[in-house]
Structure 1
Amino acid sequence: MKKYIFLFLVFFTTIFFAQTKVSGLVVDENDMPVSFANIIFKNSSEGTITNDDGVFYLESDNTYNAVVVSFVGYESKEITLSSRVNYQMKIVLVEGGEQLKEVVVYSGKQSKKNNPAIDILKKIWEHKRKNGVNHYKQYNYDKYEKVEFDLNTIDSAVIKSKLFKGMEFVFQDLDTSRITGKTYLPIFLNETFSKVYGDNIKGEKKEELLGSKNSGFTNNQALTAFVEDLYSDYDVYNNYLKFFDKSFTSPLSKTGVDVYNYVLSDSTFIDNKWCYNIIYYPRRKNELTFKGNFWVNDSTYAIKKINLQVTKSANINWVKEIYIEQDFEVVNDSVFLLKRDYMLSDFSLSKKEESKGIYGKRTTVYNNYKFDEFKDDKFYKNLTNQFNAGIVERDDEFWNINRLEELNKDEKGVYKLLDTLKTVPKFKSYYNIVSILGSGYVEIDKWNLDIGDVYSTFGFNDAEGIRVRAGARTYFGQNDPWRIEAYTAYGFSDQRFKHGISGKWLLDKKSRLIISGGNRRDIEQLGLSLTATTDVLGRSAASSSLFSVGSNDRLTNIDLSTFNAEIEPLHNFIVRFGGSLRTLSSALPDAFNLDYVDPNSPTGISSEIKQFDIATTLVYTPGKRTIGYGVERRNINDTYSTLFLKYTKGFSGFLESDFDYEKLQFSYSQPWIIGGFGRLYSTVELGKTFGAVPLGLLNVIPGNQTLFSIYGTFPNLNFYEFVTDTYASVHLEQNFNGRLFSRIPVIKNWNLREIIGIRGVWGNLSDENILLNNPTNIPLSAPNDKIYWEYSFGVGNIFKILRIDFNFRGNYLENPEARPFSVTGSFGFSF
């Protein structure tokens, strides 16, 4: 949903009223572009650098009469500005090293030895824990943030296009970005004001949101979550900076010397502090790196100013430019604290210079720093609700007091513009279309009802043939305290109606006490997860045979009723208790049955399982961030770990239930950011069933006979190939984000991403369970002789949307219909 809302902004979306504007091209004597050249307004610290093609754009609120252009190996050049606006300048630099103020200049590819810039960099590493808020035991400060999206590269063709017919008024006020020199139209603005508290002794940090305001989309949590995740906080002193789910090597990183060239370029006083200027740029293309420069103090080795710009060759999708500026202020004559952080992202479907897209701009201002004010543990554990109505609906007086940076004329106009646009029928139609694509639901406001989801309308499998489904849910707003959802489906081959209905109610916001329940009668492919499903609405992709390998006929009729209560006594720690009653039978008895020995049956065999269970589940997700305060919340990030513990007790006799048993299950999932080597996904699962139970209640090792890559399954296992009552499994998947391919000639220009995976499982099936399930018509076995394992190699980012995995089976090749090799794939939009 977040990505679709983002794409919507592409079609319907700088900020500074500059006094001096310059743009142009820097070349050498052979008319070749000079990349990474420094352009700075004379007698100032305001500047930029040229891009890969030697192009630059620079503007300032102040008035300047000249710019100075310099780069290592060339003579510096001062250009007089004839007017306030100077566009399309061509500046020729002449080769020849020179001596700058008290520093030595180097040219060409920079050596790692005897380089004064690297000597200074080492001092930065030594002092980084003594700078900023890390210098104090406790700290707190005010934080004001504004995020804006703008439609950019606007020309007459865009203004006159049919897309904007009837909405031409939005183009009345256009401005030019100070970073790229392109015209843009502000279309979305989000403001927040918060108080941040931290304790360096305890390693605790808390951000208390005090106000939030945005233009036009106040109730759209999908967009708000996208903005929150897109612009997460970062620290330039860290070795790696995370943007758009990618880890970029910081120019201040201890590993920076391996991926950057560093040049000591200049030195001067900034705010009465003598500072050195260091230019840095990548050693190789296609890596996740920056280019830019920073000013560092000569005594504390603290950063005074820094700018970072992602190179066009970096392996990142849909983002043409990333530009970052940070300014630090001096406190107590020695400590440098972050004062202002500015980040601009140019999102586009193409990286061509003339391509159109949207700017995403975040400005964060920090003020009112206070130190060594102790707060107890309870203060940090008591997290306030960050999205209640009182915070979202702050009045103008609140913002006049707490807005740490005034809105300019364009930003002020965004609120009025969006209020006007919402009254335009054509705009509302565009918004509704994208909303349906993103959420899968058609909104009917007058009934407070959503129809859908539309993606589940059609299906096909061996038991039902062609299947159609229709559903709906109640929807009064993003923070509804209760919600009811239901669907009905019909199979044209079995000529049967199916249904599902679910309801949930939030009884207490503070503890998040929720009760829920529902009923479902349907056909499902079970065994895709080691944990049996209690979802009365969900349906797996494997339940459709349109994209499957081999016979997909091991489907199950399921009649499931559930009732649950859950509470969140501690932040991100959920306790759930509930009961379920399910009836299971084969949907295709001739091909697959659930028969088991039943002395009470006239035939001695039963084909249907009826079972009542109660379960207690503990779920802990440290680091998870959410928004919303209704019965359904939306996740902001996906970088948190998940610890899951479940105890299930089955009762016989109650509600005609068939079996007494106990089951204990545990899983731990963790994404790991491996520096510049991408992300590792890891999952460990353990489980044991105590007591004899039929096939429908055992733990099936999750196979995958679909053509889709599904994490957590074994793509070379057939459904029900391994069945266990005791198991232990591990899944590891490493996405290198193109780190390896970027070093291979030719291939490095394709921006492909390499993925490797390995997975294994050990399991056992007791003699008691084998005997009980003897009548079933499928062979029952468990991987108890040796660990079953698979490995895979994948290539991602093919045409920016496709991933293909080549999966290999490690052993048990002697099993009937064993698949030694398979190819699976997936589609998706990712940065």
Structure 2
Amino acid sequence: MKNLQPLFKSIIILLLSFGTVNQLHAQSTVVRGTITDAKTHQAMPYVTVTFANSTIGGGTNTQGRYNISTTGKYTQIQVTFVGFKTTTRTIETGKEQQINIALIEDNQALSEVVVKSGKKKKYTNKDNPAVELIRKVIAHKEQNQLENYNFAEYKQYERMSFALSNLSEKFKTKRIFKNYQFLFREQDSTAIGGKTLLPLYQEEKLSDNYYRKSPYAKKQVISANKQVKYDESFVDNQGLTAYFNRMYQDINIYDNNVSLLSNQLLSPIADHSPDFYKFFITDTLKDQQPNLIELSFTPRNTNGLLFEGKIYITMDGNYAVQNAQLNVNKNINLNFVRQMQATLAFEKNNDGKYHLSQSDLKIEFGINKNKGGGIYGERLVSVNNFVVNSPRTDDTYKGPAQVIAANAAEKDDTYWLMSRPDTLDAAAASIYKNIDSLQTIPSFKKTMDIATLVLAGYKNYGTFEVGPANTFYSFNPVEGLRLRFGGRSTPLLSKRYYFETYGAYGTKDKEWKYFLSSTYSLNNKSIYSFPQNYIRASFQHDTKVPGQELQFVQESNFLLSFKRGANDMWLYNDIFRLDYVHEFSNHLSYSLGFKKWNQNAAGSLQFQNLLPNGGLNNVGTIHTSELSGSLRWAPHEKFYQGKLYRTPIPDKYPVFTLSYAQGVKGLAGGDYNYQNVTGNISKRFYLLQLGFTDVSTEGGYLFGQVPFPLLDIHHANQTYAFQLYSYNLMNFQEFVSDHYASIAIDHNFNGFLFNRVPLLKKLKLREIIDFKALWGGVRSENDPMNNANLLRFPSGANGGTYALGSTPYIEGSIAVGNIFKVLRIDFVKRFTYLDHPGAPEYGVRAFVKFDF
């Protein structure tokens, strides 16, 4: 009987739904159907279907289906599309009916054809009617945007899907896919990503969206969400969604910049678009209501981050966009993009203005732009029930910008069948079931296991995974050959309890190092899932290079073994930590911690102070006990949670961090009282066609008297890898401060200059400039020259440790990026403190990064 409950539930839902639909439509006229091309019999998307002599209607979806309704007494529907004859059909008032229509091309005969040869006229903006028209569109942008209304609301359906594309029959029949044949499907050969597809991912969302002009609020309430989900041991499903959403953002053609694939492309109706695009009037459509002008555009520089395509402008005084077809030129400086096609459709509101009714963005990626398999992705968005200037209660607009209903992921197939604005084709509808079936196949699990080991560095053994593999072997001057082995528990053991450990041994210092960590999740979610809420206790006995800051690189990584100059001044650390971390859904987070830290000098580093007779005294362990707290706010932050790190997805929103640490003398053996305050602000700025700039500013102040290992040891880098937020020509421990301020600026021109050089633009290289400056110093109370009891600043092969003076530390670099699509080479110059022994003036550094 229990197994029949879902069936009864579905029948009840269907009966209630049909009853509700019948009540709603008792006095309504409902017309639905499919629009096709009479010649090719292909379905036609984005065709406008309205009740004749009204603005009530809608557009067809990507399958050519439409569904419109009204309570008015209309007797005809009208179907219009650019290049086809307008068609009307008689309908029955007050009834639900299906009408399929085949449109006929409008081939108007030319009365005269004149062919002339001669010199091609040079394109100019002056006295160009197409440019005059686009300037009118630009002048009317504000009135045609959502922000023109005091209030607006609408329902939205969104579907995103990804598949391996353009697959050959040879690929399909490979032995590895023997058990996966049920996944393959054929794609329309005329579409992007043609030939055979292997679906990988699909997600659907239904949401209610609310906008208020003053005070500003824009809120999305996701009522239903359906997603292909992979085993969390291999894939961060939440992060995957965030990454795809960042790549395939909403396209607002009225914005100056359109975000796409973590880049920004200039809109054809941006304020200064005539400076970057060529415009041509290619058709006038007077049989449309309203009349339309077809405006074609192409980039002046085909390598630039620009679109090409057509927009259809209304000639009813609004100068609004009714339809748009956006593509990219094959020469565009975008990596891995074979084809891109975005189609936008707009509907007329009751007030005569237009709103976006549908957008369809399709992109095919491939390592080789011309042949071979690739990845095809599509994001379809449909908007309906658009209502303006109908305010809701204040509670509607309060809270975070996006809210997900508690039962959003629990909607069943019946709900989706009733709620989707269109019907999924058989292949799309089966992907959820197919991927679930795929993950039960042992060969697939084995393949994912191997991929996780290669890409993430972990080998899964069910409740425990071993890794990361790139830390198993490394070497350094203090430990010699370092062997390390460790791992951590997985959610299969427990969602609340997590354990992590490793052991390491140095053949030169003959010392064992180890780490133990235990974490308890307070919200019954994985500690790697957002939002985090956990408490963690850990103990570590290991070595460390003072002043080395690792970002998205694991300690003991084999590649860190290779360093320039002398780097034999190390520490042996014993660190016990107790941390509490709490994140909120609005990306505000805080942490509280206790840290007991014992430091011992290693290698050539020595802890020494002066005796009254002028001799040197070797000091043993530095004991510190510290209480700490931090606040972090990253509005609208998106990231991908990997096995080791959260990888942020760059965006225009700033990130604020404020940290405070209090050293307590006498607490758990601590020897020092001090307070340390640090603040950081980071943000990306988009500069139209000039690219983007990443800026990070930081400042800190330490109150109290402490030995130099407790001062701020500025982040140096002696590896050959370029690090964005470290000083790449500063030596380890070269500078310390008890107060400082810094700025780091990294500007990527995205090929703006190289695209204008004939020999370089084919290589699609990108030019980058980087600048870093650090101001700081050490107060008299922390200067060992003024206090014999303080530890002396070290001296060594690299010249030792210094306090910054009145001159800031400055370095900068000029870089060439996108080499082989993944490599950045920086030519770095250091401008100050060149008199320090071992201070390099120039250097070459490399940085591997996958960018579109």
TM-score between both structures, scaled by the size of structure 2: 0.81
What is the CA–CA distance in structure 2 between the aligned matches of 1:134 and 1:684, rounded to whole Å? Answer: 33
Structure 2 residue 478 is the aligned partner of structure 1 residue 463: yes
What is the CA–CA distance in structure 1 between the aligned matches of 2:130 and 2:646, rounded to whole Å? Answer: 48
Structure 2 residue 413 is the aligned partner of structure 1 residue 396: yes
Check whether the contact 1:730–1:760 (CA below 8 A) recurs between aligned residues: yes
What is the CA–CA distance in structure 1 between the aligned matches of 2:149 and 2:698, rounded to whole Å? Answer: 42
What is the CA–CA distance in structure 2 between the aligned matches of 1:632 and 1:818, rounded to whole Å? Answer: 32
What is the CA–CA distance in structure 1 between the aligned matches of 2:252 and 2:619, rounded to whole Å? Answer: 63
Residue 139 of structure 2, aligned match among 94, 104, 126: 126
**CA, structure 1 residues 140+65, in 2 after alignment: closer, same or farther (shift >3 Å)?**
closer
Residue 514 of structure 1, aligned match among 506, 511, 534: 534
Structure 2 residue 489 is the aligned partner of structure 1 residue 474: yes
**CA, structure 1 residues 243+146, in 2 after alignment: closer, same or farther (shift >3 Å)?**
same
TM-score between both structures, scaled by the size of structure 1: 0.82
Residue 292 of structure 2, aligned match among 266, 275, 285: 275
Taking the TM superposition and a 5 Å limit, the aligned residue runs for 1:302-341 are 302-332=320-350, 334-341=352-359
What is the CA–CA distance in structure 2 between the aligned matches of 1:317 and 1:748, rounded to whole Å? Answer: 13
What is the CA–CA distance in structure 2 between the aligned matches of 1:155 and 1:19, rounded to whole Å? Answer: 32
The corresponding residue for 1:56 is none
The corresponding residue for 1:819 is 840
**CA, structure 1 residues 704+375, in 2 after alignment: closer, same or farther (shift >3 Å)?**
farther
513-522 or 432-441, larger mean C-alpha shift: 432-441
Tell me the CA shift for residue 218 of structure 1.
Answer: 7.7
The corresponding residue for 1:115 is 128
> What SS is found at the alignment partner of 1:324?
strand
What is the CA–CA distance in structure 2 between the aligned matches of 1:716 and 1:404, rounded to whole Å? Answer: 58
The corresponding residue for 2:804 is 783
Cα deviations across residues 386-433 of structure 1 (Å, max 9, x unaligned)?
A: 668732232112212321222123312323433443343333333333
Tell me the CA shift for residue 109 of structure 1.
Answer: 5.0
**CA, structure 1 residues 479+268, in 2 after alignment: closer, same or farther (shift >3 Å)?**
farther
The corresponding residue for 1:742 is 755
Residue 244 of structure 1, aligned match among 253, 261, 283: 261
What is the CA–CA distance in structure 2 between the aligned matches of 1:190 and 1:270, rounded to whole Å? Answer: 39
User: Structure 2: which 5+ runs fail to align?
Assistant: 1-34, 43-63, 65-78, 85-99, 525-529, 785-789
Structure 2 residue 730 is the aligned partner of structure 1 residue 713: no
The corresponding residue for 2:670 is 657
> What SS is found at the alignment partner of 1:705?
coil
The corresponding residue for 2:656 is 643
Tell me the CA shift for residue 380 of structure 1.
Answer: 4.2
What is the CA–CA distance in structure 1 between the aligned matches of 2:567 and 2:101, rounded to whole Å? Answer: 70
What is the CA–CA distance in structure 1 between the aligned matches of 2:397 and 2:645, rounded to whole Å? Answer: 24
The corresponding residue for 1:413 is 430
What is the CA–CA distance in structure 2 between the aligned matches of 1:156 and 1:538, rounded to whole Å? Answer: 40
**CA, structure 1 residues 539+226, in 2 after alignment: closer, same or farther (shift >3 Å)?**
closer
The corresponding residue for 1:430 is 447
Residue 441 of structure 1, aligned match among 448, 453, 458: 458
Cα deviations across residues 502-558 of structure 1 (Å, max 9, x unaligned)?
A: 3333435899653222111111112135xxx9x9x9844799653211112122111
**CA, structure 1 residues 549+17, in 2 after alignment: closer, same or farther (shift >3 Å)?**
farther
Query: Partner amino acid for 2:844?
Result: V
> What SS is found at the alignment partner of 1:235?
coil
Cα deviations across residues 661-694 of structure 1 (Å, max 9, x unaligned)?
A: 1212111111111112111111111111122211
Query: Partner amino acid for 1:808?
Result: K
Tell me the CA shift for residue 581 of structure 1.
Answer: 0.6
Check whether the contact 2:628–2:659 (CA below 8 A) recurs between aligned residues: yes
Query: Partner amino acid for 1:230?
Result: M
The corresponding residue for 2:373 is 356
What is the CA–CA distance in structure 1 between the aligned matches of 2:599 and 2:37, rounded to whole Å? Answer: 70
> What SS is found at the alignment partner of 1:153?
strand
What is the CA–CA distance in structure 1 between the aligned matches of 2:812 and 2:732, rounded to whole Å? Answer: 19
The corresponding residue for 1:586 is 601
Check whether the contact 1:451–1:472 (CA below 8 A) recurs between aligned residues: yes
What is the CA–CA distance in structure 2 between the aligned matches of 1:192 and 1:497, rounded to whole Å? Answer: 52
Query: Partner amino acid for 2:605?
Result: F
Check whether the contact 2:735–2:802 (CA below 8 A) recurs between aligned residues: yes
Residue 361 of structure 2, aligned match among 329, 340, 343: 343
> What SS is found at the alignment partner of 1:167?
helix
> What SS is found at the alignment partner of 1:549?
coil
Query: Partner amino acid for 1:439?
Result: A
Residue 487 of structure 1, aligned match among 499, 502, 505: 502
Query: Partner amino acid for 1:491?
Result: G
Query: Partner amino acid for 1:825?
Result: A
The corresponding residue for 1:144 is 157
Tell me the CA shift for residue 443 of structure 1.
Answer: 2.7
User: Structure 1: which 5+ runs fail to align?
Assistant: 1-15, 24-40, 48-60, 70-74, 79-92, 98-105
461-470 or 294-303, larger mean C-alpha shift: 461-470
Check whether the contact 1:482–1:631 (CA below 8 A) recurs between aligned residues: no
Check whether the contact 1:764–1:784 (CA below 8 A) recurs between aligned residues: yes
The corresponding residue for 2:82 is 45
What is the CA–CA distance in structure 1 between the aligned matches of 2:291 and 2:413, rounded to whole Å? Answer: 42
> What SS is found at the alignment partner of 2:170?
helix
Tell me the CA shift for residue 385 of structure 1.
Answer: 8.0
The corresponding residue for 2:203 is 190
**CA, structure 1 residues 817+263, in 2 after alignment: closer, same or farther (shift >3 Å)?**
same
**CA, structure 1 residues 145+511, in 2 after alignment: closer, same or farther (shift >3 Å)?**
closer
Structure 2 residue 779 is the aligned partner of structure 1 residue 766: yes
Check whether the contact 1:543–1:555 (CA below 8 A) recurs between aligned residues: no
> What SS is found at the alignment partner of 1:428?
helix
Tell me the CA shift for residue 191 of structure 1.
Answer: 1.1
Structure ID, larger Rg: 2
Cα deviations across residues 282-339 of structure 1 (Å, max 9, x unaligned)?
A: 1112111111001011121111000100111111111111110000111115111111
> What SS is found at the alignment partner of 2:372?
coil
The corresponding residue for 1:284 is 301
Cα deviations across residues 343-383 of structure 1 (Å, max 9, x unaligned)?
A: 1101101111x332121011111112223344566654523
Query: Partner amino acid for 1:816?
Result: P
Work out the number of aligned pairs and report it: 747
Check whether the contact 2:192–2:364 (CA below 8 A) recurs between aligned residues: no
> What SS is found at the alignment partner of 1:287?
coil
Query: Partner amino acid for 2:323?
Result: K
What is the CA–CA distance in structure 2 between the aligned matches of 1:76 and 1:655, rounded to whole Å? Answer: 93
What is the CA–CA distance in structure 2 between the aligned matches of 1:20 and 1:154, rounded to whole Å? Answer: 29
**CA, structure 1 residues 715+637, in 2 after alignment: closer, same or farther (shift >3 Å)?**
closer
Check whether the contact 1:583–1:608 (CA below 8 A) recurs between aligned residues: yes
Q: Matched residues, percent identical?
A: 27
What is the CA–CA distance in structure 2 between the aligned matches of 1:804 and 1:424, rounded to whole Å? Answer: 43
The corresponding residue for 1:84 is none
Taking the TM superposition and a 5 Å limit, the aligned residue runs for 1:611-622 are 611-622=624-635
382-391 or 805-814, larger mean C-alpha shift: 382-391
The corresponding residue for 1:58 is none
The corresponding residue for 1:57 is none
> What SS is found at the alignment partner of 2:561?
coil
Taking the TM superposition and a 5 Å limit, the aligned residue runs for 1:30-109 are 44-45=81-82, 63=102, 109=122
Query: Partner amino acid for 2:748?
Result: N
**CA, structure 1 residues 18+228, in 2 after alignment: closer, same or farther (shift >3 Å)?**
farther
424-433 or 709-718, larger mean C-alpha shift: 424-433
Cα deviations across residues 203-237 of structure 1 (Å, max 9, x unaligned)?
A: 32122222221235385334323222221223111
> What SS is found at the alignment partner of 1:555?
strand
What is the CA–CA distance in structure 2 between the aligned matches of 1:112 and 1:477, rounded to whole Å? Answer: 65
The corresponding residue for 2:563 is 548
**CA, structure 1 residues 747+511, in 2 after alignment: closer, same or farther (shift >3 Å)?**
closer
